[in-house]
Amino acid sequence: MVRDASTTALGVVGFAAALAAASQVAVPVPGTPVPMTLQPLVVVLAGLWLGPVAGATSMALYLVAGMAGVPVFAPMGAPGFARMLGPTGGYLWAYPVAALVAGLVASRRRDFAFRALAAAAGIAVIHVGGFVQLLVLTGSAERAVALGAAPFVPLDVLKVLAAAALSSKTPRATA
């Protein structure tokens, strides 16, 4: 089954809204400025459900709204564009690329293992974005990993499996 353009457009807006909602449930993690959220799950689902281009577009829409001051980002941290320069900014910048990568990998095959690989690749992109920003802010690769990756990997493995399971019956996008 192929998804038509109007349904894809609704999906782009819907996933941006879903990411905004998921952002509001942010659990502080002791010792790090990065909260635990369901955002990575929604980001990779956007790529898996909408396809690479529409998924990336949806995440870009979310970022534009947040940078413009719409309260879509997690409730802790600087508002608007300033959030993009703080400790969670690297993760945010990576969202469109992560959705794109997840969608591209999933477009190769639709079996569970490939959907899981696609979700893992997307979440890895998010981790790389977060690592780079934290590296710049802290000046230490070891500190960047300790703050931004180590506490989150176990739950991210569950997010990969959830994304693969939740994306099993998604129609292909037209673009």
Give the three-state DSSP class for 96.
Answer: helix
Q: Which residues pair with 172 in a beta bridge?
A: 2
Closest-CA residue to 102 (of 81, 88, 84, 122): 122
- Amino acid identity at 126: I
More confident residue, 175 or 74: 74
pLDDT score, position 174:
44
| pLDDT of res. 93 | 98
Looking at the DSSP bridge assignments, the partners of residue 2 are 172
Q: Exposed/middle/buried for 7, CB within 10 Å: 0-12, 13-18, 19+?
A: middle
Query: Higher model confidence: residue 109 or residue 142?
Result: 142
pTM of the model: 0.93
What's the pLDDT at 171?
Answer: 55
Task: Reply yes or no on whether the pLDDT at 170 is more than 70.
Answer: no
Average pLDDT value for the chain:
93
Query: What would the two tokens of residue 35 be?
Result: 């909260």
3-state secondary structure of 38: coil
H-only helix segments in 24-152? 39-50, 52-67, 89-106, 112-138, 141-148
CA 46 to chain CA centroid, Å, is 8
Report the distance separating Cα 93 and Cα 4, nearest Å.
Answer: 28
Residue 78 tokens read as: 């600087």
Task: Encode 87-104: b = buried (16+ Cβ within 10 Å), e = exposed.
Answer: bbbbbbbbbbbbbbbbbb
Q: From the centroid of its chain, how far is CA 36? A: 13
**175 pLDDT above the threshold of 70:** no
Q: Which CATH architecture has domain 5-166?
A: Orthogonal Bundle (1.10)
Express each pLDDT in 124-157 by its tens digit: 999 999 999 999 999 999 999 999 999 999 999 9
pLDDT in tens, 37-47: 999 999 999 99
